[in-house]
Structure 1
Amino acid sequence: MIPFRKMHGLGNDFVVLDGRAAALPVTPARAAAVADRHFGIGCDQFIVMEPPPAGSDVFMRILNPDGSEAGACGNATRCIASLVAEERGADRVVVRTIAGELPVERLPGGLWRADMGPARLGWRDVPLAREVDTLHVPLALGPVSDAAACSMGNPHATFFVDDLDASDVATIGPKLEHDPVFPDRANIGFAQVLAPDHIRVVIWERGAGMTLACGSGACATIVNAVRRGLTARRATVSMPGGDLTMEWREADGHVLMTGPVATAFSGMLDLESYAA
């Protein structure tokens, strides 16, 4: 039996296992089974804490509910940083993922600020299947068109819409996720700008579907909104699960994300009872 925690950031929820002391029998199939909300514990992402490489405090491996591996997850980054910070009595932690190092610091009021690194704006960086202006990707389906794309460790495309409530994200999102222009699939965001410092967004996550919040999606939203001249570099990004404070720092192009973390419950998991 393996201890686990069920954590979340704004309802974007995770099953967290600690594999730092010894390797765990995690496979994509087992992660997908545990993530199932009917037959497993249920989560948006399955997270394994692993021994850190030099310069980091912990390595965070991220598996989606379909078993695929993700490069970044902003809400999980804050959750994992909070665990390590509490262990060490520290206010700053560096989380490493396959996409790079993410420094996280504790702020007053139970908030955590993660430096999600620079936005990657080149078409190869997203990546896209061909050379395209990432500020205006010729992508359209039904009522939406003209996406802005970037990478935050994961590929993202953002559509800016006049009425978010009229956008059928659950129908359009999965089709656009698999559009041939995205060789690695993509997270699809639907954003409505409410004010120069306030954006409302819903994200269809690659490999996960509809989620209550998406940290890397919020990062992509502020970046693409600023690139389009729609908002300031600092804004509140509102998602179904709550708000994140976002900033696309002009000095170095890094995206800063501030929000809460929470532990819902903990327990013991018989991981080997799931087919590998």
Structure 2
Amino acid sequence: MEITLLKVHGSMNTFYLLEGPENDHYDQLAVQLAKMDSSVDGLLVVLPSDKGQAKMRVFNRDGSEASMCGNGLRCVARYVCERDGLDEAVIETMKASLAVKKEQPLGDGNAMYAVEISPVSFQLADLPMVYEGNSEWLMKPLPFISEEIAFSAVAVPNPHLIGIVPKAYLQDDSHQKKWAETFNGPNGYFSDGVNVSYVTKVETGIFVKTFERGVGFTNACGTAMTASALISCLSGMVPYGEVTVYNPGGMVKCRVEKEGADFNLALSGNATYLSRHRFEWAEELANSKFLSSETFDEQEDYERFIDKVAVKAKQFV
């Protein structure tokens, strides 16, 4: 079967994007594409929806399905808005229908989109996480990991374990790798695995490095960056409002607003098109192949943007 794929990225969190009908085998396609192209983190599928302009499904490199992806949602937002001639839309995801909108380009004309991140839960049962009968875990050490790292657990709705760390933990990621691999293998704490992010304060915001469930270390994870901004605000490390978040793939803006006991979160950043492909999709990997490819020049604009605006990111990678 011949299909059309767009290769896209948000903060260098890179995906193939496909518009199509519901199909029980998109997980297999995600695995095939990951084996054929080591640079991609997964597959975004744009589907019809009766709750908004489109529905998004997200498949990781290993074929597992994620409930949300903030970087991927920006790319889907661009695709749907350009397809339908809109500046704003509603995209259905696994657990919520989320508002997205086009923003003014930054730097050298990079397409920018803002997306809602919701729902937010601090209940360990929603990750799920089990630890000594606790119902929440916010801004305190997990002693079996480290006495000096304040950890917080939050679902947005993807499950995240956020550690606020000294800079040295980001320059040598062996500690993060050890525990992220532990929590995403057989373990007694996270039955479905968890995204593990280490966060530190920088001069103009925060820097986040994420080990993503089903992927491994990634250039950026949208929900992780948003969850990290939320925890950084809760801890008093940065003020509420717009938080600049640097990552190995670049920089985004996260808006964190508190209304009583509730939080409103949004993620704003690039949605870059890298290439378009005709792809022959077969059941067996050996019979699947790229038929033709067209490369866009948007990555050059993005790299100029990073050089000018997100220089803080480079000190950690």
Q: Same fold (TM over 0.5)?
A: yes
Q: Which amino acid aligns with 2:12?
A: G
Deviates more, 1:100-109 or 1:223-232: 223-232
In 2: Cα distance, 1:230 partner to 1:41 partner: 36
Q: Aligned ranges for residues 1-276 of structure 1 at < 5 Å?
A: 1-19=2-20, 22-24=21-23, 26-36=25-35, 39-40=36-37, 42-54=39-51, 56-109=52-105, 110-130=111-131, 131-132=133-134, 133-135=136-138, 136=140, 138=142, 140-141=144-145, 145-163=149-167, 164-168=170-174, 169-178=176-185, 179-195=187-203, 198-233=205-240, 234-251=242-259, 252-274=262-284
In 1: Cα distance, 2:121 partner to 2:22 partner: 32
Conserved 8 A contact 1:199-1:238: yes
User: How much has 1:41 moved relative to structure 2?
Assistant: 6.9
In 2: Cα distance, 1:274 partner to 1:140 partner: 44
In 1: Cα distance, 2:28 partner to 2:98 partner: 27
Conserved 8 A contact 1:188-1:205: yes
User: How much has 1:25 moved relative to structure 2?
Assistant: 6.2
Conserved 8 A contact 1:139-1:146: no
In 2: Cα distance, 1:220 partner to 1:23 partner: 30
In 1: Cα distance, 2:166 partner to 2:153 partner: 19
In 2: Cα distance, 1:8 partner to 1:226 partner: 27
Check 1:88–1:238 CA distance in 2 against 1; reply closer, same or farther (3 A cut): same
Aligned alpha-carbon RMSD (Å): 2.2
SS in 1 for 2:220: coil
User: How much has 1:28 moved relative to structure 2?
Assistant: 2.3
Runs of 4+ in 1 over 3 A off after TM superposition: 22-25, 139-146, 169-172, 176-179, 273-276
User: How much has 1:271 moved relative to structure 2?
Assistant: 1.7
5+ residue gaps, structure 1: none
User: How much has 1:225 moved relative to structure 2?
Assistant: 1.4
5+ residue gaps, structure 2: 106-110, 289-317
Give aligned-pair identity as a percent. Answer: 25
In 2: Cα distance, 1:167 partner to 1:24 partner: 38
In 2: Cα distance, 1:11 partner to 1:140 partner: 33
Q: Which string of whole-angstrom CA distances, capped at 9 and with x for unpartnered residues, describes residues 183-225 of structure 1? A: 2110000111124x50001000000111111100001101111
In 2: Cα distance, 1:4 partner to 1:204 partner: 26
TM-score (ref. length: structure 1): 0.90
In 2: Cα distance, 1:74 partner to 1:95 partner: 12
Conserved 8 A contact 2:91-2:97: yes
Q: Which has the higher helix share?
A: 2
Check 1:121–1:30 CA distance in 2 against 1; reply closer, same or farther (3 A cut): same
TM-score (ref. length: structure 2): 0.79
Query: Which is greater in Rg?
Result: 2
Conserved 8 A contact 1:15-1:35: no
In 2: Cα distance, 1:29 partner to 1:114 partner: 28
